[in-house]
Chains A and B, each alone.
Chain A
Amino acid sequence: MMIDRRLFAHFDWRILGLTLAIAIMGLLNLYSITSNIEQGGTPIYTKQILWLFIGLVIMVFVAFIEYRLYSDFAYIIYTLSILFLIILLAYGMVTSGAQRWFKIGGLSIQPSEFVKITFIITMAKIFQQPPQKGGYSLKDLPLPFFLLALPVVMILKQPDLGTAVILVLVFFSILLFIKIRWSSLLVILLGGTSLIPLLWNFLKDYQKQRVITFLNPDLDPLGAGYHLIQSKIAVGSGGLIGKGFMKGTQCKLGFLPEQHTDFIFSAFSEEWGLLGSIFLITLYTFLIIYGLRISIQSKDRFGAIISFGVVSMLFWHTFINMAMVLGILPVVGVPLPFFSYGGSFLISTMIGIGLLINVSMRRYLF
């Protein structure tokens, strides 16, 4: 491994700075909404600080390895991450309950979070060869689709709808980015939509019921509908300037479900109002714009696709999370990057940032 001194000169402080800014806001927010909840053991925000430090160390590590090495090892790390999913599934079958986590000591690790990263790297490897004139066609796609379906099916079994949706969206973002023929895209879309009624018939009644309430939470006023209305009350009652740090009542009184993970944005919006939310969204937008710039300036297609994949992952997470707590999209359980509590997710996004910095640093090196 060669670490060139020039690398440091090109270290992308902007990306790191934006990431840290968002993460620190996230920590303050986490402190605000969880500090009054008495729980045994380490407080949630302390754990999150610890995760952030671990994430930073891993990020630096990821950033300094020559990224073309990732291309060489793409299939190996992809297989490893899939293996973890399989072990998890098998373990779940033994204990007769689906699971998302490995419990090692006091820590729980969620393999599906890391699959997002290994999936992006694998796609970058596959598509680093430029397509024929006119773009990729259907005959180039069976392998990528298979590599997508494998983790998606297993993650759906866990069941973790949110992560599966993100994987699919990232995949299609990459497909559009690397250019695919219009005719092929049309076939995929038609094929996908015609599959839906077929799948519907395979569902059991209670599963159908779940999908229906998922699409229309008002049908379940005691479950999903209740969560949504409480989330809207939290956001709405924040008004223009918010209720202030540590003053949000909705989450303090326990009305918000999963307030420190999926619904953390409602808690933030309640305390910081429209202005705070606009500020936060601006930070995310800049992160995405800088990320895209890294992708544009990348010296090769592999780097360009990796950084684009990471950016699209960050974007879909941010957008879907906000949209669902505001009632624009159904609640699928997608966390907000650098904001939601959760070690595996934080580390996997930090790895993503590490990849961005990596590509950025090496754009002038050949």
Chain B
Amino acid sequence: MMELNTQRMEELKRRYKYFLVFVIGAFLLILCQLWNLQIIKGNEYRRLSENNRIRIREKPAIRGMLVDRNGNILAHNRPCYEVYLIAEDIKGDQELIQRIEALLKLPQGELRDKLNDRKRRVPFRPIKIKSDIDWEELALLEFNKVHIPGLILDVKFRRAYNYGDLASHLLGYLGELSEDELKRERSSSYRLGAMVGKFGVECQWEDDLRGKDGGEQIEVDALGREIKPLKRIEPFPGNNVVLTIDLDLQKAAEEAFEGKNGVLIAMNPNTGYLLAMLSKPSFNPEIFAKNISFEEWKSLMEDPNHPLQNKGIQGLYPPGSVFKIITAIAALESKVITPNTQFSCSGTFNYGNREFRCWKDGGHGVLSLHRAIVESCDIYFYQVGLKVGVDRIAHYANLFGLGKKTGIRLPYEKAGLVPTSSWKKKFLGVPWYSGETLSLAVGQGYLAVTPIQLLVLISAIANGGKIYLPQVVERVEDMSRNTLKTYPPIEVGRINVSEETLHIIQDALKGAVNEPGGTGGACALKDIKVAGKTGTAQVVRISRYFRRGDMNRLPHQLRDHAWFVAYAPFENPEIAVVVLVEHGGYGGAAAAPIAKKVIEKYFNLKQERCFKLVQKR
């Protein structure tokens, strides 16, 4: 065997020679290039390295604006001046340092410390002294510029939101690209420290808004003075995003919501375009554009009212009596009741060993479906629910889009939950109790929905069964207002429910607002017929035992959430609204008046604009 091996080894030897020749050739190539760089071009490179230095000056692209449907600017970029100093040029002149501190109103000693911090800075590199100075300071600095060597003023653009915290959750905010994000493949074209959209439309439409950053290589001398630009790439500004939001309506909504926490979303039920969207408490997105301090960030994050959450798509709540719409449709469609089926309500209902109550003490007496919806009788729907059963209710809830994301193009949307008997078996390991069907029938229990889901539901009722994708952006335009992309309405589904059933529900919803005894009476308008449904979502079970009007005795964080969904005009719907007032108590009292203000404003605006148009002609 040895002999054989030796023989084989001989065979290998020839190829060693080839490899060695290749290695030496490759290293000779390296030596040639070294000779070329160090000897032939050595002097030139030495000059470049001594006089140097080639620096990069970044020219970030100007971010696109956010504009409402009527062209009002919601987010834009404002110039922001930054002051830099080159420490070497000051040469430790204490008097001068103090003068600059006084000019810029800096705390005493801060500037000196910054300039003396030799360890952390690179020689001759300008040090940022103050950013975002005001006009007065700018004027003073410009005036004194000749007396301050090494002073550099730089202008940058900073995101500004014209209306403070208006629609802040929808617009979103910017933040510095983190190092982790930078490592990700998709972010490779960003530079460290770039400001990118982190939330809302700013995040979702980042690719359209950001534009293309530019910059140039410039040759500077030893003092950092520019000698000449070498290569440059022009920045290309980002595109403007036109929202579906109506600024005036949004303003009215914000005003109506003053001092309360919760959600309001308004939508055109025939297109799915959102007309207003707010979530309270809100935040001012501008604080993220400048470097947010840790304390500010912490207080926002730890606020028990979750100001950073867009509750319209991220908040999960039981829908309360709004859900009776689904229970009623399920019952009618599966023919377990007719519109004339009557049940009686005495105020309490015994099932199993538990007593279930109606919200109204003493009960509603004997009523049929129409009045049961109008007066939102719980006990009527307990009995309907028992007849329909959990899984059929769940089927119709799913049909209307509950339990899954609506698909709205905003980050972090939640799906919610529609319980079924098999779901409970699978996830909780116990069978469904029919007592739980009672809770489900009136929108309590495991059920969890987002406000936007209820808005899509009420819109589908209004428009005859069409589920539209809720959208917040109408189109994307370039700088000169040429349309680049449009987002036409998208019908994502049609509800397979008979027209008759829909009419019964629509009539009942009109009754809830306009008939005597209707729970949504607070939303009735003079000239326009509104249809709507109230809801009260339990936060804790005990609230059920508090009488109407007694809610105020309960601690605020235990009070029920107030719901109201509505659309108008009844005959030919143009606007659908969902209102959720967190811990607001009863839907009819807390949420319906807010919806009224917004709907009223919508029609006033319509009239005003129509009038103006006529006047112009």
Show the binding face of A for B, using Cβ within 8 Å: 38, 96-98, 130, 159, 173, 176-179, 206-207, 209-210, 221-222, 225-226, 229-230, 232-240, 249-250, 253-255, 269-270, 273-274, 277-278, 281, 284-285, 288-289, 292, 295-296, 298-301, 304, 308, 312, 315, 319, 322-323, 326-328, 366
Contacts and interface: CB of A to CB of B under 8 A. Distances in A.
A97 B54 CA distance: 33
Given A239-B38, A296-B16, A278 B45 contact: no
A98 B181 CA distance: 10
B230 to A, nearest CB: 8
B39 A239 contact: yes
Contacts of B232: 221
A288 B30 contact: no
Nearest to A288: B23
A300 B31 CA distance: 36
A253 B123 contact: yes
A255 B230 CA distance: 16
B34 interface: yes
Category for how many chain B residues contact A: 35 or more
Given A179-B15, A269-B38, A327-B33, A255 B53 contact: yes
Given A38-B120, A206-B186, A299-B5, A236 B30 contact: no
18 contacts: A98-B183, A98-B185, A177-B19, A207-B185, A222-B217, A229-B217, A232-B45, A233-B48, A237-B46, A240-B38, A249-B50, A255-B54, A277-B31, A281-B27, A292-B16, A299-B5, A323-B29, A326-B30
| Most-contacted residue by chain B among A222, A232, A273 (CB, 10 A) | A222
A70 B410 CA distance: 56
B46 to A, nearest CB: 4
A288 B123 CA distance: 42
Interface in B1-30: 2, 5, 8-9, 11-13, 15-16, 19-20, 23-24, 26-27, 29-30
A278 B33 CA distance: 12
A240 B56 contact: no
Contacts of B488: none
Interface string B44-80: 1110111011101010000000000000000000000
B188 interface: yes
B184 A326 contact: no
B5 A221 contact: no
A285 B27 CA distance: 8
Given A221-B217, A239-B38, 13 more contacts: A38-B120, A130-B8, A229-B217, A232-B45, A235-B37, A237-B48, A254-B122, A255-B52, A273-B38, A274-B39, A288-B20, A296-B12, A300-B5
Nearest to A235: B37
A362 to B, nearest CB: 14
A235 B30 CA distance: 12
A28 B24 CA distance: 27
Nearest to B45: A236
Nearest to B118: A38
B45 A233 contact: yes
Given A226-B56, A239-B42, A328 B30 contact: yes
A176 B16 CA distance: 10
Contacts of B41: 236
B31 A285 contact: no
B617 interface: no
A177 B188 contact: no
A238 B50 CA distance: 11
Given A274-B39, A295-B16, A296-B13, A235 B34 contact: yes
Contacts of A225: 217, 231
Given A98-B184, A236-B45, A238-B38, A281 B31 contact: yes
A38 B184 CA distance: 28
Contacts of B58: 222
Contacts of B49: 233-234, 236-237, 249-250, 270
B492 interface: no
A235 B38 contact: yes
A308 B38 CA distance: 33
B355 interface: no
Contact of A236 (B19, B37, B56): B37
B39 A173 contact: no
Nearest to B232: A221
A108 B56 CA distance: 32
Nearest to A311: B19
B215 interface: yes
Nearest to A312: B19
